[in-house]
Amino acid sequence: MTDSGSLLIHPIARIQTGFSSKFGIPRQSGLVETLQGRVVFEPEYRQAEALRELEGFSHIWLIWHFSACSGRKWHATVRPPRLGGNRRVGVFASRSPFRPNGLGLSCVRLTGIDCSAADGPVLLVAGADLLDGTPVFDIKPYVPLTDCRPDAAEGYTAGTKTHLLQVDFPPALLEQIPERLRAPLLGILAEDPRPGYDDSPEKVYGLPFAGFDVGFAVEGETLRVFRVTACEDGGAPADQSG
């Protein structure tokens, strides 16, 4: 810590997910529970002792760095995609990546601790909304007594939470995706991965996920997949995330 209160923080871990680009990442943690990730500690922190009794908690907090967004100047207001991309809210009233210090906060489900992995102990998590390789600065247990506030007012997010698309994924295309990745992919598509709300049905998108490029278009409330292509450089993160 310096006199000004500035602080140099170092990654304790990195997360492995199927997301090689920001496009398609769920806008909040927990929205797509079938998404698997691995939290791999940096060598200094690979100690089973540091995780003692963590297995009793079903959820954990990750504090991490919006590393893919670093370097961009912050602005006082942002336009959350879930509000249509036109309404501005204050940056501190948002979970936007473009914020002072660029820290992210995610609650994810802890599905297991893999102590036998060569890079273990590794935390197996579900519902992570993080880019593959994202540096993690802290891991804390989710303590319901203080973290679960059922009476909390949800502000402008109240109107956004039920926005799910119908997904039309032709079976012949879906079969090209490994079975264990189908549920997460369908979840991501239903969450409407378009960067903004362009209502034109002609607009086509390519979603990179776990070594595949998934082509789709959206008309009204229906998302239609028309192409699945295996990418040459993909696959590794997904294989690691099981």
Q: Which of residues 68-87 bind a copy of itself (CB under 8 A)?
A: 70-71, 76-77
For the bound state, the minimum distance from the C-beta of residue 218 to a copy of itself, rounded and expressed in Å, comes to 22
Which residues have C-beta within 8 Å of that of residue 134, sequence separation ≥ 6? 14, 15, 17, 64, 65, 67, 68, 104
Contacting residue, 3, 5, 171, 196, with a copy of itself by CB under 8 A: 5
Sign of the CA dihedral with 145 first, then 150, 151, and 156 last: positive
Q: Does 19 bind a copy of itself (CB under 8 A)?
A: no
Contacting residue, 3, 4, 43, 73, with a copy of itself by CB under 8 A: 4
Q: Does 31 bind a copy of itself (CB under 8 A)?
A: yes
Alpha carbons 67 and 134: distance in angstroms, whole number: 7
Q: Does 51 bind a copy of itself (CB under 8 A)?
A: yes
Q: Which of residues 100-159 bind a copy of itself (CB under 8 A)?
A: 100-103, 105-107, 135, 137-157
Tokens read off for 65: 């760095």
* Region binding a copy of itself by CB under 8 A among candidate stretches 62-70, 175-183, 202-210, 226-234: 62-70
Contacting residue, 23, 34, 79, 91, with a copy of itself by CB under 8 A: 91
For the bound state, the minimum distance from the C-beta of residue 96 to a copy of itself, rounded and expressed in Å, comes to 9
Tokens read off for 176: 């090209």
Q: Does 47 bind a copy of itself (CB under 8 A)?
A: yes
| DSSP class per residue in 22-39 | STT--SSTTSSTT-EEEE
Alpha carbons 239 and 18: distance in angstroms, whole number: 8
